[in-house]
Structures are given as structure tokens and as C-alpha cells.
Structure 1
Amino acid sequence: MTVIRDGVVLASAERGGRPSTPAHREQLADIDAAEDFLRAYHDAHPASGSLADRLAEVRAEIAGSGTYRHTAAELAYGARVALRDSGWCTSGVPWRRLKVRDLRGIRNAPAVAEECFEHLRSATHGGKIQPLVTVFAPDAPYRPGPRIWNEQVVRYAGYESADGTVLGDARYTGFTAAAQRLGWKPPTQRSKFDHLPLVVETASEGPQVFTLPRDVVHEVPLEHPELPWFVELGLRWHTVPLISNMRLLIGGISYPAAPFNTWFVGTEIGTRGLADENAYGVTRTVAARLGLDTRSERSLWRDRAIVEINRAVLFSFDSARVTVTDHHTEALHRLAWLRAGPRNGAHRPAFTLAKQAAHRARHGSPPCFEERAGRS
């Protein structure tokens, strides 16, 4: 019998139902991936010692326990490469010097939440956003690591009323309702920009909710360089995109909680967050204030309104001296990255997003540690 949770094999049992001996366990660590990664690491760090000795050491660890432990230097290198290749590595990020917070000893939910908040404090850096990666305990045979439900540590609640209207971010109505079922209490006076709680789940504790301390969230009120009425819309956005539900894979080891941040691309806020009808949907309101003809799509009123929303985002972040980049700069950066040549290797370090994790971040389900048994 094999027990699988959240797509990860956690234990294997023989026909009698008892765990098998270490030599016959399901190996969580892929030895081929481990060896490929270690060769790549030693190629990049030729002064790091004997590759042959390290390979022998790792093979012995996997044979005995089903997994192995990265050195601090290996972990940092793997996380940096994964972020560089993730699609979230914005231009200007010094990935080779990226700070990696090694917190692999942390497994319990309250400590994970507190360190996520500390990550936010450090990353905010007075508006000069500091890219960081925090790595919590990995999955290991019979001992899964913690999971974070939220798509980003800072996200805004969406409250759906009986008539279908939404106050706040419509993308997160399901997550908001799920957080309330878990015990989260929204502010008495609800607003369009209430911070969702952080939800951390472990196999032993289940899902727990943690309210974000006010001091960890830095926000920028939005205004427009030429339209005085724009500030009357009461729009704002948080400054650090701390991605929290992606799994970090390095050399056959899976780190299910490894939150990371760079800085925002303006359109991630203006187009995807504020303008999108499935999020805040302010495009029509802005178009009306601009006096645009919204009766026909051929007038391109949406495009014109979205441009002004994005101008407001960039202007406001620049005025607040908060790091942000624009989508044209990022497009050129991405093209240059692609032209630099293919990144070969099936076992390269990577941040990945499982379908269930993506669903959980929007709808608050399914739980991470729901057992599914199947015959081995």
C-alpha cells in the first residue's frame, strides 16, 4: 500500500500493512536528479571539493534513508538557479548574489508563518525591494514538509454578497470564505483592501490561519500624474510580491514551502489586479471618469483606461520610491534571456506549481494532507 498526499509519496507498506525496511522504501529523492544537480553545482563551483566524494556520500544517504541533505551552498545555488529560470526573475535582480534564508529546521505552522512575516519585513527594505528566498523543511519519507495555501503572502479578501456582487478582490472569494470557515474573522468594517490571513498546513497540525501584522505590509496609495480625480478611487497595492505556494525542486529534493520575491511588474498590479473584471474590475469606472464611449468595444475604451491605470501604478510607486518595473522592460529582458540559449537538463532546479496548489490558493481547497491509498 502506498500513501500519497498532495501528489507526494510519503510512505510505502508491505502487504501486511507495516512500513517496509529502509532499503525497500519508496525513495522520495530521485538519485538521478541528485547526481545531475551535484555535477552542475561542482561545474559552477570547481573549488567546492571532490565531486566523487560528494556523490558517494549522497548515494549512501539515499540508500539508508530515502533522502539526503543539501549543503547550505548547494541549497543557495539551487534556489538561485530556480528563481532565475522561474519567469518571476525580473530585470535587475542580482540572482547570483540572491540571499537565501536557510530555515530547513522549521516545520511547525506558527514558526513558518512568523518567518514569512519576517521575510516580508526584510524584503520591503524601505521601498528598495530586496529579492529573497526562504526555504523551509523539505518533504522526506514519512515526514512531509509544511505547505502554504496562499498564492502570495499578501493578498486582498473578496467578500461575495447574496446578489453576486463582490467587495474586494473577486479572485479570492473562495479563499476568503474558506479562511472564515477555518476561524479567520474579517475586520468589523470590511473594505476593498482587507488583508487575507496566511494559511499554513502541516501533516500533524492541519491548516492554521495567521493574521498578518500591520507592520509587515507596506502599501502604496495610487494617484495619477495628470488626473487629479484618480486618487478619489481609493486604490492601493502592496509592494512585495511574495510568492508562497510554489514547490522548489533541487536535485531530487522537494521543498513544498519556499516563498520567494523579486519586485512587481506594473501590469501585474494595474492590468491583472485592478483592471481585470475577474479581480477588481475598475476599468469601466476609470473609462467613465475619462469620458470614454463604452457602448462599443471598437472604441477601444478598455485599452485606453487600462493604460491610465498602469500609468498611475508606475507613477505612484516611483513617487513612493518603491522598486517596480514596466512590462516593456521585462519583455526585452525575457527576450534577451531566451536568446542566451536553452537551459538543458530535465533535472534543473525549478519552482513548480501543482494544479491542486493553484486551486487551493483561489478556493481554499482541497486540504494538502488528504490521504489517498492505492495498491503498490
Structure 2
Amino acid sequence: MTVPGYRNVPAQEWDPAAPADPAEAEEFLRLCYTEVSRLGPVEPRLAVVRAQIAATGTYVHTTDELVWGARVAWRNASRCIGRLYWRSLTVLDRRRVHTADEIFRLLVRHLQVAGGGSAIRPVISIFAPARPGRPYARVWNEQLIRYAGYRTEEGVVGDPRYVPFTDAMRAMGWPGRGGPFDVLPIVVEVPGESPRLFELPEKAVVEVPIAHPELGWFERLGLRWHAVPAISNMRLRIGGVDYPLAPFNGWYMGTEIGARNLADPDRYNLLPVVAHGLGLDTSHEATLWRDRALVELNRAVLWSFHRAGMKISDHHTESERFLAHMRNEEKAGRPVPADWTWIVPPMSGGATPVFHRYYHEADQRPNFYLDSEAAALARGAGVRPALAAAPLAA
């Protein structure tokens, strides 16, 4: 099967100059007004939208359409296991904001709304849509909170995934501090201006120190991770209208941190460190030292978040919740698009119920898309010599 966006099949490239597709707009509106019955009949709205597209190449969503479209985009996100709560998404309408300073201020506000207190809330901030053939605002960062990676003679300090992006930020004037958990600056690009760097204030970044319920030496590793995973470079598409700046977050599943971010060999690569602390035999793979270290690292992440009172989910619980979501959707007569390679957790996959079945693969819209240019900017590939002197804002 070759469905765009699945199993490394590239999604169709976005053409920012193309007008809104009237057929896609109609399909979205009919679905919206069917599921949200209080909106009334759809035909008068369709007439207005057709006229707007004919006159301007696009149309403007009402607040109700925007909120419903964003929530359904989460419902259709085939790589997300946590869709049971799609109706609870908090939608922040930021379409009237255009300056870099205001955008950054509202990104900080997003993190505060999402991570204020221990109850991590799913939130999306939707900024101005792209207009056919016109430049648009965007954020370069892959996520609003990520840690820098520094090249040194002894190897990488910090997150190796973000070494190129860190190099790009330093070329643009960010000094960095050289630590293993330095929060990267936010790059905001708006039409008519050079990209600008902004430092996130401490109050916007909630972090959890990582310790272990039984192993005292674990805390001395000095590990920590941020509590709000806010993806910031994916394009939201609702009814043929594209929103290039629409950062959104849920909450972490423990394995995202403990089995990927901290464990992957090309990330923090902590399994050998944990295995050494546990006194495991690492001389050959058959001792399963990696598996034993992986379990303790993931126990530490879950226990630390619970100790701090921060919301997090384990992969067994989240797998059960996803199947509950599928049952809910099947009762509603809706297919559930899912990418098996993302739905199955990266740890103990065969021990979770999501492993033992096939899934419906389809590009259902509204949805989120990662464009090749946005992906390149998040890798630090967007810096040009002319940008090297871009100012750093507080």
C-alpha cells in the first residue's frame, strides 16, 4: 500500500500559490455542519464560501469551523496514539496576530496554558492562514521546547539530533551555554523581515528532574526533560485552507522520553550509562542488558513525572485508550486512520494490544502535514550568511 504520509511515502508537496480547492472546502463544510448540528443548514454557508474563493482564491473560517476543524485534524492524525481525547483540544484563535514579537508572546502563552500546573492540557494555537501566492509567518523549530547539541572534541554535549540547528542558531547570534539541557531559542519568521531569535523565559519551560524510585545513583546523572511536547513546524490544513503556523501539544507517553529521546544511540544514548550503573554484563547482546537498562530508564521517567505531579502516560495504558478510541469511532461510523509503525510503542510492542491488528491507512482531512522546507529549517538548513547577524530578543 502506498498511501502518502505512511511508511515513509512522502506526502504531496504543498503549493502555497494554489487557491483553495472548492471541492475540499465543500467536503469539509458538509462534514462540519453534519457533526455540529447547532450550526444549522450548510447550503447558505457554501454559497458564501464559493463566492469568497472565486473572488480571492481562499475563504475565511468561522470560529466554530476553525475549532471543529482543528479537533478533527487531531482525530485524523494517523501517527498519534493519544486521540481518545480529541474533543478536549483547546483551540486558541490567533489569526489576527502578525508581528514576530506578538507571535512569540503568544507562543509563550501557549506553553503556559498547556503546562500551567500539573494538568497538561492539549492545546493548539492557530495563527494567520497562508494566502495564495503570498509569504506567511512560521516558526523554524520542530518543537517549541528542545535541547541544544554542541560539538566538542570529546563528542556531542546535549542532544545530537539538534547539533545542526544549534550550529545555525549560534551563527545567528545565540551564544548557547554548552550544557546538556540548554533550551534552544525560538526562530520566528514573518513576511518582510529577517528571521528573529527569541529566548523562552524560564516560567514557560516546565522541566522534570529524572530520578529512580530505588536507585539513588540515578539522580546523580543530572537528567531532566521538559513536560510539554509542542510540535511547531507542521502545517494544519482545514477545508483547503492552510495554516503554516499552528503549534499544538498533548502530553508525553513515557516511552517517547525513556525509549527514544534519552535512549536512542543517535540521541542521548543513555542505555550504556544506565547498564553500567546497574552493574550489567554488556560484553554481548544475549545478556539483554539493553532491555534491562531500557526498563529501568523508563521506570525512572514515569516515576519522576508522577513524583513531580506532571501528567504522563505509560505505553500499556495508552494502547488501551487507543483501542477505546477506535471503538468510539466505529460506533460513530467513522474509520480510524492509523500508521502501525507509529501506533505500536517503541518498547514491549508485542505486549500491547495495538500490536496485534492491522489499521486503516488513509489521508483523511482536516490533518497535519510536514512540508519538506519546514523539515529542512528544523534541521538548521535554512541559515544563510545574510542572517548571521540577526538579533537575539529576550
Superposition TM-score, scaled by structure 2 size:
0.82
The correspondence for 2:223, drawn from 235, 253, 258, is 235
Kindly indicate whether residue 311 of structure 2 is the aligned counterpart of residue 323 of structure 1.
Answer: yes
C-alpha distance 263-366 of structure 1, shift in aligned 2 (>3 A): same
Query: After the TM superposition, which of the residue ranges 245-254 and 291-300 deviates more from structure 2?
Result: 291-300
The correspondence for 1:219, drawn from 207, 212, 215, is 207
2:370 — aligned with what? 353
1:253 — aligned with what? 241
Kindly indicate whether residue 105 of structure 2 is the aligned counterpart of residue 117 of structure 1.
Answer: no
2:165 — aligned with what? 175
Query: 1:270 deviation in Å?
Result: 0.8
C-alpha distance 351-100 of structure 1, shift in aligned 2 (>3 A): same
Q: Over aligned residues, Cα RMSD in angstroms? A: 2.1
Query: 1:111 deviation in Å?
Result: 1.6
- Paired with 1:33 and 1:331, the residues of 2 have a C-alpha distance of 32
Query: 1:330 deviation in Å?
Result: 1.9
2:303 aligns to what SS in structure 1? helix
- Paired with 2:244 and 2:83, the residues of 1 have a C-alpha distance of 27
C-alpha distance 82-32 of structure 1, shift in aligned 2 (>3 A): same
- Alignment check: 8 A CA contact 1:135 1:257 kept: yes
Kindly indicate whether residue 118 of structure 2 is the aligned counterpart of residue 127 of structure 1.
Answer: yes
- Paired with 2:168 and 2:319, the residues of 1 have a C-alpha distance of 36
- Alignment check: 8 A CA contact 2:75 2:83 kept: no
2:295 — aligned with what? 307
Q: How many equivalent pairs are there?
A: 344
1:362 — aligned with what? 379
Query: 1:114 deviation in Å?
Result: 1.4
1:295 — aligned with what? 283
- Paired with 2:381 and 2:203, the residues of 1 have a C-alpha distance of 25
1:126 aligns to what SS in structure 2? coil
1:206 aligns to what SS in structure 2? coil
Query: 1:347 deviation in Å?
Result: 5.6
Alignment of 1:200-215 (within 5 A): 200-215=188-203
Superposition TM-score, scaled by structure 1 size:
0.86
1:374 — aligned with what? none
- Alignment check: 8 A CA contact 1:135 1:259 kept: yes
**Residue identity opposite 2:370 in structure 1:** L
- Paired with 1:314 and 1:76, the residues of 2 have a C-alpha distance of 32
Kindly indicate whether residue 89 of structure 2 is the aligned counterpart of residue 101 of structure 1.
Answer: no
- Alignment check: 8 A CA contact 1:33 1:347 kept: no
1:136 — aligned with what? 127
1:50 — aligned with what? 41
Superposed CA deviations along residues 294-333 of structure 1, whole A, max 9, x for unmatched, are 1111211111101100000000000111000011122223
2:95 aligns to what SS in structure 1? coil
- Paired with 2:368 and 2:383, the residues of 1 have a C-alpha distance of 21
Moved over 6 A (4+): none
Q: Give the gaps of 5 or more residues in structure 2.
A: 1-11, 338-361, 385-394
- Paired with 2:261 and 2:306, the residues of 1 have a C-alpha distance of 18
Query: After the TM superposition, which of the residue ranges 109-118 and 91-100 deviates more from structure 2?
Result: 91-100
2:97 aligns to what SS in structure 1? coil
- Alignment check: 8 A CA contact 2:168 2:383 kept: no
1:145 — aligned with what? 136
**Residue identity opposite 1:184 in structure 2:** W
Kindly indicate whether residue 73 of structure 2 is the aligned counterpart of residue 85 of structure 1.
Answer: no
Query: 1:90 deviation in Å?
Result: 5.4
